[in-house]
Amino acid sequence: MSRWTIADIPDQTGRTFVITGANGGLGLQSTRALTDAGARVLMACRNREKAEAARSGLAHPERGEVVELDLADLDSVRAAAAVLAGHAPDVLINNAGLMNIPHALTAQGHEMQFGVNVLGHFALTRALEAVLTDRVVWLGSIMHRFGSLDPDDLDRTRRRYAPMPAYADTKQACVMLAYEQQRRFDAAGSPLKAIAAHPGYSATDLQYRSGSRIQDGFMKVIERVPFLVQPAERGALPELFAATVPTLAGGTYIGPDGPGELTGHPQIVNSTRASHDRDVAAALWRRCAEMTADV
C-alpha cells in the first residue's frame, strides 16, 4: 500500500474549512494544501496582519479568508464563532496551540496552555457544531503519553506549574475530547465525526518559547537530527489525512508511521490507555463546558 501524501487529497472544491492558527507552521501548510485542492479556508488567527501576509503568499489567495480569533480570550472566540458560522463550514481543524511556555493566564484567568489548546478550541467547537457538515479534527501530540490529567485541577492551581507537563496534559485532553465528542455524536445519531491527529515531531516555532536559552538551544540541536524531526509540510499530513479522507471513521487517532511516531506518513495509531478512560473524559467535557459557559 502506498504512503499517503498531499497528492492523495480528494478534490475539495465546494468545501469550506476552518483552521485555527492558519498563518504559520502546520496550519499554514494545511491551508496551502487544502486551497490547492480547491477548498475555501477560513484562516482563524490572532494576528490579522500576519494572517493576511500568509494568505497573500498562497498559490490561490482568493480561496483563503482571514477571521480574527484569539483563543486566549473567550469573548474573542464568541465573536469569531459568530462570523465563522455564517460561512457554513464543513470541517473544523483545531490546529493552533501553545507549547512549553512560562506560566501565564488567559483573559478569563485560566492557565494559558490549557486555555488556548483546550478551552478556546472547546468553546469554538461547541459554537460551530450546529453548522458543521462533516467533522472536527483535534490536534493531539506524542506528548499526550506523558499527560496526567486531573479534571478537578485543569488550571493547575493545586499542582506546581511546569511547562512541559502542563503541555502534555493539554494534548491528552484534546485526544480525550475527540473521543468523547464522537461518543456524543453517536449517542445523538449525528453524522458528524470527531477525529484526533498528531504531527509527530515537526519543526515549527512552538518549541522555542520556554523562556530558557539552554532549553531552547537544546531543542534547536535536536531539530538538526533528520530521523527525529520532520519539516512542517510533512508534519501537517496527519491533520490533512484526518480532515479529508472520506472513509475515515470518527473516534480514530492519526499519526506518523515512522519509529516512535516521530516522523513519517499518516496512518491510524493508538493513544494511551488513560486517554480512553470514559469517566475522566466525561468529567473533562463537563468541566470544559462549565469553564467556557458552553460558549
The C-alpha cell of 253 is what? 487517532
CA gap 229, 246 in Å, rounded = 28
Amino acid residing at 84:
L
* Beta bridge mates, 43: 19, 66
Active-site pick, 167, 179, 201, 253 = 167
Half-sphere exposure of 88 (CA within 13 A, CB side): 3
Task: Name residue, grid cell 498562497.
Answer: 58
Angle formed at CA 179 by CA 285 and CA 288, multiple of 5 degrees: 15
CA gap 118, 123 in Å, rounded = 9
CA gap 246, 115 in Å, rounded = 31
β-sheet with 266-268: strand ranges across:
64-68, 40-45, 16-20, 91-94, 135-139, 193-197, 253-256, 266-268
CA 116 and chain centroid, separation = 10
Tell me, yes or no, if 167 is annotated catalytic. Answer: yes
| Residue 64: how many other CB atoms lie within 10 Å | 24
| Residue 199: how many other CB atoms lie within 10 Å | 30
> Which residues, 6 or more positions from 53, have their beta carbon under 8 angstroms from its beta carbon?
23
* Beta bridge mates, 282: none
Task: Name residue, grid cell 493531539.
Answer: 140
Catalytic residue numbers read: 167
